[in-house]
Chain A
């Protein structure tokens, strides 16, 4: 193998294998690139923008790597040879400068987008948001609709077009709630209540899962999000459920048995008896004292 074969191969291999992966993946469902809500859409745009910006550096790097390696190969005696050149101030200034300029642009984008996408901030909308409280257990998800007095397990029903304001906690190891089709994920932690605001713009069923290891049942902690076409559909779903005979209840006592570690993956819907259940779950880990923990309960310190 001639040396320039190696040079070309090293530069082409990542591109070829990358394209092959890309080609295969595009035949599959890729939720991050097929966002179903405004948060995810914003994040997808950010990915594409940053990728595009980085090509300003990546393409020259690959080109120069290939061209210089080929042109200045030791068998090419026609090429110039300056063994004692130590550098070039202007060139070096150039490549301190260009990345700084790119990062400066990206910093502005980062600053703005980070504030726009801040999960602590509720989505702006004219529609009244739906409140959902989420408890990550070992190893299932409990979703509480305090206003609708419903608790669901391993399935989340929401109306499309309505912002959903989540409050998220854990009653077990640290977990994380991630619905790739909708966007941002957030950690769920004991004694704390993380905030997250998402919206589904379309009807559909989206997969959500736990993205932080929490014990042996971790891989089973996935669930479906069902986005109903409209708020009316959601309200009638709520009404239909509440009209059913109230055989399965959830209050604090039942919760204590319910929260024990289990590999039970079944979907359940329960009538919520105890509207303050979520707050009780959060505060049971924070029975300290002196009020200094208030910051721990609600959001986090800046």
Chain B
């Protein structure tokens, strides 16, 4: 009846029990509060079923933030273990738990934090920047989001039922095969990523079509805001890379589910094929995350320098160059797998070539400040910190691109330091900059600047203290993913430093939470108009809060900095309103997500009847969702006029 799901699946060790108990209590409190305040209907109507990309974007980010907190809790455990308990025989964290935790940390941070933040940002900003009222396929967008949520839920169920993968965030076989990982952990990993991955793939299609077909009249490709360009390149990578992930996970899943032999050690299976496939997805994935972050900085630097972006064309070319090159370097993740010198040298050189367009971007950002008027509000501080840290990451990246150097630092903590340098310094700092920059657009008030700066300094110092020691540890021979080591090696001092760094980062997170709470509390004092920074692109032309339809009128665009030119010329927006079609809410996204969750859960626990039922439900829901008739409703020109008066009248 319940497949291999028995009472044994409940957690045994005190650390996990604590985590699960804490999570459950938190969830129950939220549920109780929601029920008490009778907010379920509101939540369902206003948020969960909404097809408005602005709301879907917010929901992505809420999920990502919750996952960020879990990922940070995970890493606090890891570093505590390595700094304090690693040299003692009695550690509260067993090797198995330690391995589950770092596998979960990597998986969560990449798939459910970084991807969530990026897709959230794209949902919020792209339609506004291209001057559109919606995305190409609103329901599909909601389905993508709910598949992301289903993957996230499934991954977190592993805390309380069964176990999570202990095979690292990319689950190399044969370790991840049945022979060495017979439990449910790797299955959780496979199916939560598979479900979330399909969601990402659909989003990729959706946003490419949105950008290519729904731009405002007059906005040619070379007049698009640079953030939109970065999203184009990122989404092209999604479309090319994610099918490879889907196929690879499916094959590993078939190995485990039906005893096939794609990547097993025996019966002709070829684990190296998996390593190739997973990195053919995995390397582009890094750029899927970091290119939009580049886009964010390319928006922020001109606005805070009050000057046009330096070398727009170069920036676009650099994005495209990175996009193409990112598919030609995957082998640098395994130079030490014994490929010949020609192959290694080729992939090493291709990897270094990526440094060229990336370097061009850095120089262009810096020269955007040249002869500008630079103001150092938090978004700009994040930019400065990004350049400083990303440059260090770039150098260590070029180091490892030389196969001869990689040979002696691969899989050491040097590698760990390098990619955290890129992902925290690049993606996360970009996300924080975007958060400070666009927050007032969607809420009508700014985040408190002083607290934001405190959080910023904590993050920057914490990041440097947490990761620079890891470079040294790598040179000292410390490998990654190690839960204990001998005290005589002299590593503990640097591990303690790294642990302190994590604490400082956590302090930064604490100040971010305080900043948000305080800003909401003081929102009257912090209130700002629709264009607080002197924005250059179309999102700042909307009212704040932004109307459901984004733009009342669709005036043609003449220039790259579309809104800047309008403001400079004191042009008036047209006031001739027409009826506007907006999509109706739909519960299909949530239902399809639930069905996918059912399929995933059933396949993990071998509950075949549930798998069948969920699969049929999933197919039926998809078919039925294509047959909707009440797709959209009309906001009449009169209503638009009234709304505009209400939203803009206040602060004319």
Contact = CB atoms under 8 A, between A and B. Distances in A.
B349 A83 contact: no
B48 to A, nearest CB: 39
A239 B535 CA distance: 81
Interface stretch (B24-32, B152-160, B384-392, B518-526): B384-392
A137 to B, nearest CB: 12
Given A10-B385, A73-B376, A190-B265, A83 B306 contact: yes
B384 A10 contact: yes
Contact of B362 (A17, A42, A61, A92): A61
Interface in B70-101: 94-96, 99
A21 B474 CA distance: 12
A204 interface: no
A146 interface: no
Residue of A32, A33, A80, A300 ringed by the most chain B CB atoms within 10 A: A32
Chain A interface residue number, banded: 35 or more
Given A106-B352, A110-B349, 17 more contacts: A14-B389, A25-B494, A28-B476, A58-B395, A64-B367, A69-B384, A72-B370, A83-B308, A86-B308, A87-B364, A99-B355, A110-B352, A176-B336, A178-B412, A186-B337, A187-B337, A211-B479
A25 B345 contact: no
Interface in A29-86: 29-33, 40, 42-44, 46-47, 50-51, 54, 57-58, 61-62, 64-65, 68-69, 72-74, 79-86
A180 B522 CA distance: 56
Residue of A87, A190, A216 ringed by the most chain B CB atoms within 10 A: A87
B310 A87 contact: yes
A10 B128 CA distance: 33
B334 interface: yes
B410 A185 contact: yes
B363 interface: yes
B340 A74 contact: no
Contacts of B372: 72, 81-83
Contacts of B532: none
Nearest to A116: B404
B528 interface: no
A72 B409 contact: no
B480 to A, nearest CB: 7
A20 B617 CA distance: 59
- Judged by DSSP, the binding face of B is helix
B398 A50 contact: yes
**For the complex of A and B, 5 pairs with smallest distance between CB atoms:** A173-B175, A211-B411, A87-B311, A180-B477, A118-B341
Nearest to B175: A173
Interface string A143-169: 000000000000000000000000000
B405 A21 contact: no
B336 A186 contact: yes
Interface of B: 94-96, 99, 166-168, 172-175, 180, 265-266, 268, 271-272, 305-314, 334, 336-345, 348-349, 352-353, 355-356, 359-360, 362-364, 366-367, 369-376, 381, 384-385, 387-389, 391-392, 395, 398-399, 401-405, 407-412, 453, 457, 460-461, 464-465, 468-469, 471-472, 474-477, 479-486, 489-491, 493-494, 497
A117 interface: yes
Contacts of A191: 265-266
Contact of B359 (A84, A99, A187): A99
B484 A103 contact: no
25 contacts: A10-B388, A11-B388, A13-B464, A21-B494, A44-B408, A46-B404, A64-B363, A64-B366, A69-B376, A82-B372, A86-B309, A87-B313, A106-B402, A115-B345, A117-B403, A118-B344, A176-B336, A178-B477, A180-B476, A186-B338, A191-B266, A207-B489, A211-B412, A213-B481, A302-B339
A14 B484 contact: no
Contact of B314 (A24, A96, A194): A96
A57 B359 contact: yes
Given A65-B387, A92-B311, A185-B410, A99 B360 contact: yes
A217 to B, nearest CB: 7
A32 B410 contact: no
A189 B271 contact: yes
A220 B545 CA distance: 58
B53 to A, nearest CB: 31
Interface string A91-126: 110011001100100110111011111111100000
Nearest to A288: B268
A207 B175 contact: no
A172 B353 contact: no
A190 B363 CA distance: 47
Contacts of A180: 408, 412, 475-477
A260 to B, nearest CB: 13
Residue of B311, B336, B362 ringed by the most chain A CB atoms within 10 A: B336
Nearest to A24: B493
Contacts of A267: none
A57 B395 CA distance: 9
Contact of B384 (A57, A65, A83, A176): A65
